[in-house]
Amino acid sequence: MFDGFRATTIDVGEASIFVRYGGQGPPLLLLHGHPRTSATWHRVAPRLVARGFTVVCPDLRGYGRSRGPEPTPDHTAHSKRAVAGDMARVMRALGHDRFGVAGHDRGAPVALRLTLDHPEAVSRVAFLDGLPLTEHLSRVDARFATQWWHWFFFAQPEIPERVITADPDSWYRGDPREMGQENHDEWRAATRDPRVVRAMLEDYRAGLTVDARDEEADRAAGVRIRCPALVLWSLRDDLEQLYGDPVAIWRDWADDVRGHGIDSGHHVAEQAPGPLADALAEFFTG
């Protein structure tokens, strides 16, 4: 995986972030989702390097090989604001003061927070299979609760840690043929680490508390995304089925939004790397 890329760990203060990076050209930060690591981009990142980008793929705080502080009772140690701050510092450490960012799944609200908190740093943003957390929560109904029940299970104290770590291979399932063997092996090692499992759960606990409050405060203050935004979603996932047109929802948050679906299941970087890389390259080149 990641031939020609460098790998390092960057100390950003209260966290140490494992990151892969390579290429030359405009910098593009790729943020993975749950329960993946930066390895999920192994088929997309080289394509973007070939299209003339410098590509940076970190493990989010607590995921994969990145480490952060111990969880806090208010979950702020794993808030999207804290994780977005990590990403801004990683990019500065690599010499990039202004860059594009794309976030998938749980990486999408991190990309949103990064764009809102550090508008001077983000030139363009892409949201993949994701909405603002408050947009999800404002639409909770029986169908959402049935299909996305894990959001509320993960938010319970202590119980999900005991359930998941008792048999992580049964809880987190992945196909090495679809994922790629090295990506699968890295992901499996991470999901078998109790520290990683705890951090991933804290991501969800923060999402239902401090992150939701931060988004609500932004909406009340009229804070908006000012840079161009791209919205992509997997046609064989349930985002559009649950909510209708994701672009229409993001237009309540951004002035310049475009987007379309991609023929893929949820893990689009692994299942449809070519169409995804093409869409990202076209948007971030513009």
> Residue 113 to residues 84, 135, 155, 167: CA-CA distances in angstroms?
6, 14, 20, 33
Name the CA radius of gyration of the chain, rounded. 17
Residue with tokens 């161009």, as numbered in its chain? 228
Annotated catalytic residue 150: no
Q: Which residue of the set 105, 129, 218, 237 is catalytic? A: 105
Annotated catalytic residue 105: yes
Neighbours of 62 (CB within 10 A): 24
> Residue 76 to residues 59, 105, 122, 135, 199: CA-CA distances in angstroms?
18, 20, 23, 20, 12
The DSSP H or E segment spanning 286 is none
Q: Which residue of the set 34, 118, 184, 266 is catalytic? A: 266
Counting beta carbons within 10 angstroms of the beta carbon of residue 220, is it exposed (0 to 12), middle (13 to 18) or buried (19 or more)? exposed
Spatial contact of 122 and 98, defined as CB atoms under 8 Å apart: yes
Q: Are strands 16-22 and 54-58 parallel, antiparallel or unpaired?
A: antiparallel
The dihedral sign for the CA sequence 249, 250, 252, 257: negative
Beta bridge partners of 125: 101, 229
CA-nearest of 90, 96, 93, 99 to 119 is 99
Catalytic residues: 105, 266
